[in-house]
């Protein structure tokens, strides 16, 4: 069970299931009218927190800066949709209790109000309650300042039916926050295989050719010319050689190839819906609508 003193550890922090998996971000806390204790938390789910679901806090615990609830993300996301207008009617609360399988002995005929919301103006600031409370634990105002003791110190504005009317109201609006998540987009791989291609190279080759050489009879060769019979038949031969191209192959390394990756940044546009509060003046003679509520 989470107490009112622990609320600053809840708002804006992660809500997780029993296994520690994130369900969403805590949005608003709803207090029980009769006890003033935290009863419900809204959890922002969906893309960029576009949806809000109610989760009961009676079985929730704080685990560091996380709120742990005994419900799965899918169950929370599919919870009945209730407008987070700062108040839960008895009928709405009973419907939510039935959805989560909780029995609280709920009797809608004996209660005029149910739960009201508290929300945080900014993380790290004090909690502020936007209430429409008509009942407290004892309905007492011991210090006589016009504020019930049960909500003293955590109420800064409410409707005119309550006991703690302030001179101003707070206007809030949602801002779109875009983030990124890393997902696998594909794979790249290296593969090598063998192909055959034709190559041409020039190779110098040599060969022997026959050449007839004649020399006249001189004193230098006269003896060799006269050696032998005057007339005879004879044969002489020489061996002719030639070179022919011979082709062989040799595998040699030529380069190293590896895969690398680099991160590139590009701009993408995302679109989402945001809500904002508009304050108008309801005066005698009709309602006056201001131009830009942010002015």
263 domain-assigned: no
Which pLDDT score is estimated for 193?
Answer: 93
Which pLDDT score is estimated for 222?
Answer: 85
49 domain-assigned: yes
188 domain-assigned: no
CATH of the domain at 131: 2.30.30.240
CA distance 274 to 172: 11
Domain containing 129: what range?
Answer: 4-172
**3-class DSSP assignment, residue 92:** helix
Q: How many domains, in total, are found in the chain?
A: 1
22 domain-assigned: yes
CB contact set of 88 (below 8 Å; sequence gap of 6+): 30, 40, 54, 82, 96, 114, 115, 116
Which pLDDT score is estimated for 125?
Answer: 25
Give the count of beta carbons closer than 10 Å to the beta carbon of residue 19: 7
76 domain-assigned: yes
pLDDT, tens digit (0-9, with 9 covering 90-100), for 68-112: 899 888 888 888 887 766 678 888 888 888 898 887 645 444 443
CA distance 165 to 217: 148
105 domain-assigned: yes
254 domain-assigned: no
236 domain-assigned: no
pLDDT, tens digit (0-9, with 9 covering 90-100), for 214-270: 999 898 888 888 887 878 888 989 999 999 999 999 999 999 999 999 999 999 998
């Amino acid at each position: 069970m989470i107490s009112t003193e622990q609320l600053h550890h809840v708002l804006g922090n992660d809500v997780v299931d029993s296994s520690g998996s994130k369900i969403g971000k805590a949005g608003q806390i709803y207090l029980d009218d009769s006890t003033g204790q935290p009863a419900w938390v809204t959890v922002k789910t969906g893309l960029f927190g576009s949806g809000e679901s109610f989760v009961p806090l009676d079985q929730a615990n704080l685990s560091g800066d996380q709120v742990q609830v005994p419900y799965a993300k899918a169950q929370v996301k599919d919870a009945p949709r209730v407008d987070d207008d700062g108040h839960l009617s008895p009928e709405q609360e009973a419907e939510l209790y039935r959805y989560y399988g909780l029995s609280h002995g709920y009797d809608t005929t004996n209660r005029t109000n149910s739960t009201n919301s508290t929300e945080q103006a900014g993380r790290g600031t004090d909690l502020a309650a936007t209430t429409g409370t008509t009942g407290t634990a004892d309905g007492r105002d011991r210090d006589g300042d016009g504020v019930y003791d049960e909500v003293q110190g955590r109420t800064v504005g409410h409707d005119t039916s309550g006991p703690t009317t302030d001179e101003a109201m707070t206007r809030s609006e949602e801002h779109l926050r875009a983030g990124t998540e890393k997902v696998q987009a594909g794979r790249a791989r290296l593969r090598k295989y063998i192909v055959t291609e034709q190559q041409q190279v020039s190779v110098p080759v040599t060969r022997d050719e026959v050449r007839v050489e004649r020399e006249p009879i001189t004193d230098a060769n006269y003896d060799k010319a006269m050696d032998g019979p005057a007339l005879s038949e004879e044969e002489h031969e020489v061996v002719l050689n030639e070179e022919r191209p011979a082709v062989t192959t040799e595998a040699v390394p030529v380069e190293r190839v590896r895969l690398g990756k680099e991160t590139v940044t590009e701009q993408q546009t995302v679109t989402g819906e945001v809500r904002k509060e508009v304050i108008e003046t309801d005066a005698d003679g009709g309602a006056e609508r201001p131009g830009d509520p942010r002015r």
